[in-house]
């Protein structure tokens, strides 16, 4: 367990260097009672208060990704805070009000959570979200070299831009082709100083949404997996087959059975929401289908992160990549679930329309120029 000094130091780095909170700004923190997340939230509260921010700390029961946030918690967003931190043991929770009556963005896109509406559409908010953050993780992974991380994120994002597809192979048996033509890579680089930006603490990944219905191949999750009930290290690897962009087979041990059950929960919940009027007629089938889609390919870039069975940290670890089952980040494949699952020691090759390629990682090691950035 880290000392209170370590927690305070990490909180100060996040408040000052990551979020750049200023005197007089409104800073909303939503957390859960007791344990590590409440302790970290109080440290963030104290660090922002010392700067002179107007800080509000809201405590609600722990939520899963299939549950709703407390209405009073989400009502705090009506004050239009400048900065937000979700420091949760699991998830912030869905927005019941916006699920029934979504916000409509200027481009006509519907948004079913007030947090995402303020962050992504209005761009009045900057934020961090930390599902499953522990005191130990906070102390080890928050105080990294952010400028170096940001330079690596830029270089890898440039390599993924205008690419046709990415092929990922790994010693555990992964061999999948992920089409990304026209997609834009995104970074969790710890630079959340501008409105409309946000990401995890710990930071450290570049990620992209695959084209829906296109990925082909096999992924073997031999690091850890996300479930609706939490995360776990895979003692027995989980083998998942994708055909035409959707899972057709899941095999392995108890971990495979649990992952399959989480996907089936996501499918059932989609139809339940439609019956309750929280999804429009016909959307239940769309959301249920996408529960077996490929929603994300991400590359871990935090040198202090380790595989601990907590996906918040695991997916940022060097020598790994991760794939998400379910909802993507381009909002054209909505689902009730987004389950990140880890692959160790990947080889990641980016292919372009002219036939050229770029290797980002070889057997889990960043290659030149990505590994040489100083």
DSSP string computed for 27-76: EEEEE-SSHHHHHHHHHHHHHHHHHT-EEEEEE---B-TTSBPPHHHHHG
Neighbours of 293 (CB within 10 A): 23
Cβ distance 164 to 200 under 8 Å? Answer: no
Distance CA 325, CA 36 (A): 28
Q: With bands split at pLDDT 50, 70 and 90, how would you rate the model's confidence at 1?
A: very low
Q: Over range 202-211, report the average pLDDT.
A: 98
293 pLDDT above the threshold of 70 = yes
Distance CA 126, CA 82 (A): 7
Cβ distance 252 to 286 under 8 Å? Answer: no
What pLDDT, on the 0 to 100 scale, is given for residue 374? 56
Residue with tokens 């082709």: 177
Tokens of 230: 């939490």
Share of the chain above pLDDT 90, in %: 91
Q: What is the pTM of this model?
A: 0.87
Supply the DSSP symbol for 312. H
Q: With bands split at pLDDT 50, 70 and 90, how would you rate the model's confidence at 186?
A: very high
Torsion of Cα atoms, 283 then 286 then 289 then 292, to 10°: -100
What pLDDT, on the 0 to 100 scale, is given for residue 65? 85
Share of the chain above pLDDT 70, in %: 98
What pLDDT, on the 0 to 100 scale, is given for residue 3? 54
Length of the chain: 374
> Hey, is 362 helix, strand or coil?
strand
What pLDDT, on the 0 to 100 scale, is given for residue 79? 97
Residue with tokens 């390629």: 357
> Hey, is 131 helix, strand or coil?
coil
Q: Name all domains of the chain by residue range, CATH numbers in brackets.
A: 4-135 (3.40.50), 145-366 (no CATH)
What pLDDT, on the 0 to 100 scale, is given for residue 219? 98
Q: How distant, in Å, are the alpha carbons of 26, 27, 223 from that of 33?
A: 22, 19, 30
Among the residue ranges 99-103, 119-123, 287-291, the one predicted with the least confidence is 99-103
Average pLDDT, the chain: 95
pLDDT digits (tens, 9 = 90+) for 85-96: 999 999 999 999
What pLDDT, on the 0 to 100 scale, is given for residue 252? 98
Mention every residue, 6+ apart, whose C-beta is less than 8 A from residue 198.
84, 119, 125, 126, 127, 128, 129, 192
């Amino acid at each position: 367990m880290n000392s209170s000094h370590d927690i305070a130091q990490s909180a100060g780095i996040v408040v000052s260097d990551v979020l750049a909170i200023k005197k007089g700004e409104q800073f909303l923190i939503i957390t859960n009672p007791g344990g590590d997340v409440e302790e970290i939230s109080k440290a963030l509260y104290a660090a922002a208060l010392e700067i002179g921010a107007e800080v509000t700390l809201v405590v609600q029961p722990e939520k899963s990704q299939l549950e709703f946030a407390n209405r009073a918690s989400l009502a705090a967003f009506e004050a239009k805070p400048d900065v937000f931190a979700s420091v949760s043991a699991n998830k912030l929770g869905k927005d019941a009000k916006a699920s029934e009556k979504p916000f409509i963005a200027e481009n006509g896109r519907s948004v079913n959570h007030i947090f995402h509406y303020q962050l992504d559409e209005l761009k009045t908010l900057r934020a961090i979200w930390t599902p499953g953050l522990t005191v130990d993780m906070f102390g080890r992974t928050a105080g990294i070299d952010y400028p170096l991380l940001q330079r690596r994120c830029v270089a890898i994002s440039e390599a993924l831009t205008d690419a046709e597809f990415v092929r990922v192979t790994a010693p555990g048996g992964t061999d999948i082709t992920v089409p990304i033509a026209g997609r834009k890579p995104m970074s969790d680089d710890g630079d959340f100083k501008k409105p409309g930006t946000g990401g995890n603490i710990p930071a450290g990944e570049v990620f992209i949404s695959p084209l829906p219905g296109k990925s082909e191949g096999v992924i073997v999750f031999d690091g850890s997996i996300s479930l609706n009930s939490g995360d776990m290290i895979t003692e027995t690897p989980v083998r998942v087959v994708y055909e035409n962009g959707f899972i057709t087979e899941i095999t392995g041990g108890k971990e495979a059975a649990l992952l399959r059950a989480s996907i089936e929960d996501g499918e059932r919940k989609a139809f339940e929401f439609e019956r309750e009027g929280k999804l429009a007629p016909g959307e239940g089938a769309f959301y249920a289908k996408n529960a077996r889609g490929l929603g994300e390919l991400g590359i871990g870039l935090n040198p202090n992160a380790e595989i601990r069975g907590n996906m918040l940290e695991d997916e940022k670890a060097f020598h790994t990549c991760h794939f998400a089952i379910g909802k993507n980040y381009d909002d054209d494949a909505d689902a009730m679930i987004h389950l990140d699952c880890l692959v160790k020691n990947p080889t990641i090759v980016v292919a372009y329309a002219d036939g050229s390629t770029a290797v980002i990682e070889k057997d889990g090691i960043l290659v030149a120029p990505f590994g040489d950035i100083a």
